[in-house]
Amino acid sequence: MVADKTTILVVEDEPAIVELVSFALREAGWNPVAVNNAGDAWDFIQRRLPHMILLDWMLPDQTGLRLLSRIRADRNFNELPVIMLTAKSMEEDKIAGLDNGADDYITKPFSPRELTARINALLRRKRPDHSQSMMRAGEVTLDPVSCNVSLKDQKIDIGHAEFKLLKFFLAHPDRVFSRSQLLDKVWGDHVVIEERTVDVHVLRLRKVLKEAEYLIKTVRSVGYMLSEK
């Protein structure tokens, strides 16, 4: 089975809220990882890029707003979806958060249902590859729910990395990505994997796609793209 859970980094110092939020996220099928200060959050995203951050406004070491500015100033993270959590419902806070690049903002106390609805809406908006609908190109289909990939309705065996790569390409057809972009966007971890590894996985992906390998194009001296043309 291919594990492809959406990882959500929860940056919050109040244990009761961490517990509530983590429970709600797990129930919704996501993978929550919690840290209780801005420094640990920053360290975490250097090692592993989450799909989204839930960021508390008041943290022990610095404000969530300050961390948000730092995230947005870094080109590796400026697309990362961020929802601010705040105990205050003051309009100026909301505006400051959105000005600094928050994608959305939730006022405490909130219900788990409200939280998951807002996360779902943001994931849909920011990351079309996280939608739950069938993805296809040519005679290849990928089911994001069951994680099955089929060629002419025959299920094919595919490795975890090749699955993630294919899913990313299907979500962004006809767009060329460099090896480093693929590393950032598909693996979300620029420490462990080298750019050469991308070539290896592209090679393997083409192999499992058999006659549909033509979908994955090499764009000389730039990178790779998926295209039916």
For Ca ion, which is the closer residue by CB, 54 or 135? 54
Nearest distance in Å: CB 86, Ca ion? 9
To the nearest whole angstrom, how small is the minimum distance from the Cβ of residue 14 to Ca ion?
A: 5
What's the distance, CA 82 to chain centroid? Answer: 11
**What's the min distance (Å) between Cβ of 189 and Ca ion?**
28
Nearest distance in Å: CB 21, Ca ion: 12
Whole-number Å distance between alpha carbons of 84 and 98: 9
Q: For Ca ion, which stretch binds (CB under 5 A), given 57-65, 110-118, 142-150, 206-214?
A: 57-65
In the region spanning residues 4 to 33, those forming contacts with Ca ion, defined by CB under 5 A, are 13
By CB under 5 A, residue 56 contacts Ca ion: yes
For residue 151, the minimal CB distance to Ca ion (Å) is 49
104 sits near Ca ion (criterion: CB under 5 A):
no
Residue nearer to Ca ion on the CB measure, 3 or 60: 60
C-beta closer to Ca ion: residue 37 or 227: 37
Is residue 58 part of the contact set for Ca ion (CB under 5 A)? Answer: yes
Query: Where along the sequence are the contacts to Ca ion (CB under 5 A)?
Result: 13, 56, 58
